[in-house]
């Protein structure tokens, strides 16, 4: 799996303290992400734990998301340690989450699985953007640009974890650089 360094599309905006049970409720943890049909199904339940009345994240007819980018506040991914959380977001079609801060375990699981880029904002973007606004995330320049007014906001560099995520996670990266045997 390769990842882009430029991601374009509409954003899905959330607030602070989005926990792993909101990202993927526990009742769906019996789905096995290594089985393709269950991987897709897992994606269709991404953010199914948001409060009733919230906008639908997986709004496409196939259960995927029209939002490749999530913008959130502080402490994104708090709660229990669930590798399924970043996997569910990635399976839905999300490519990056831009949060003010992350729970450490969510950040680590995002890198380990290689599903999404966990990017950090330099300011509180969840109060500046609205769901559906079109943007461009440029990870080479650490920016997010809103198309409607061309306003550019800074992001913190994802640093040394970028090649791990781009390779598709820890094991894929280790195979790529020769740390472990390739599956060939």
Question: Is residue 110 a part of any domain in this protein?
Answer: yes
The structure tokens listed for 117 are 């880029």
Question: Is residue 54 a part of any domain in this protein?
Answer: yes
Please give the residue range of the domain that contains residue 167. Answer: 6-176
| pTM metric for this prediction | 0.94
Question: Is residue 146 a part of any domain in this protein?
Answer: yes
Count the domains in the chain: 1
The structure tokens listed for 57 are 């994240």
Question: Is residue 184 a part of any domain in this protein?
Answer: no
Question: Is residue 1 a part of any domain in this protein?
Answer: no
Assign 70 to helix, strand or coil.
strand
Q: What is the pLDDT along the chain (184 residues), one digit of tens a residue?
A: 345 689 999 999 999 999 999 999 999 999 999 999 999 999 999 999 999 999 999 999 999 999 999 999 999 999 988 899 999 999 999 999 999 999 999 999 999 999 999 999 999 999 999 999 999 999 999 999 999 999 999 999 999 999 999 999 999 999 999 898 877 6
pLDDT at 3: 54
Question: Is residue 182 a part of any domain in this protein?
Answer: no
Other C-beta atoms lying within 10 Å of the C-beta of residue 101: 16
The structure tokens listed for 72 are 């959130």
pLDDT at 4: 65
Question: Is residue 164 a part of any domain in this protein?
Answer: yes
What is the rounded CA–CA span in Å between residue 115 and residue 6? 15
The CATH number assigned to the domain holding 82 equals: 3.20.19.10
Question: Is residue 170 a part of any domain in this protein?
Answer: yes
DSSP labels for 114-140?
TSSEEEEESS-GGGT--TT-EEEEETT
CA angle, residues 8, 74, 47, in degrees to nearest 5: 60
Query: 63 near 43, Cβ under 8 Å?
Result: yes
């Amino acid at each position: 799996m390769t990842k882009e360094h430029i991601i374009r599309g509409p954003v899905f905006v959330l607030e602070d303290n989005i926990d792993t049970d909101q990202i993927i409720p526990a009742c769906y943890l019996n789905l096995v992400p290594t089985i393709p049909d269950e991987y897709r199904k897992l994606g269709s339940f991404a953010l199914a734990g948001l409060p009733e009345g919230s906008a639908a994240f997986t709004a496409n007819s196939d259960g995927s998301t029209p939002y490749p980018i999530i913008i959130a506040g502080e402490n994104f991914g708090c709660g229990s340690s669930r590798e399924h959380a970043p996997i569910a977001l990635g399976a839905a079609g999300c490519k990056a989450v831009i949060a003010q801060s992350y729970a450490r375990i969510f950040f680590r699981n995002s890198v380990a699985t290689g599903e999404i880029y966990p990017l950090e904002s330099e300011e509180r973007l969840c109060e500046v953007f609205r769901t559906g606004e079109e943007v461009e995330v440029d990870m080479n320049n650490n920016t997010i640009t809103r198309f409607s007014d061309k306003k550019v906001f800074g992001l913190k560099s994802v640093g040394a974890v970028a090649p791990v995520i781009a390779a598709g996670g820890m094991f894929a990266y280790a195979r790529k650089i020769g740390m472990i045997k390739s599956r060939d």
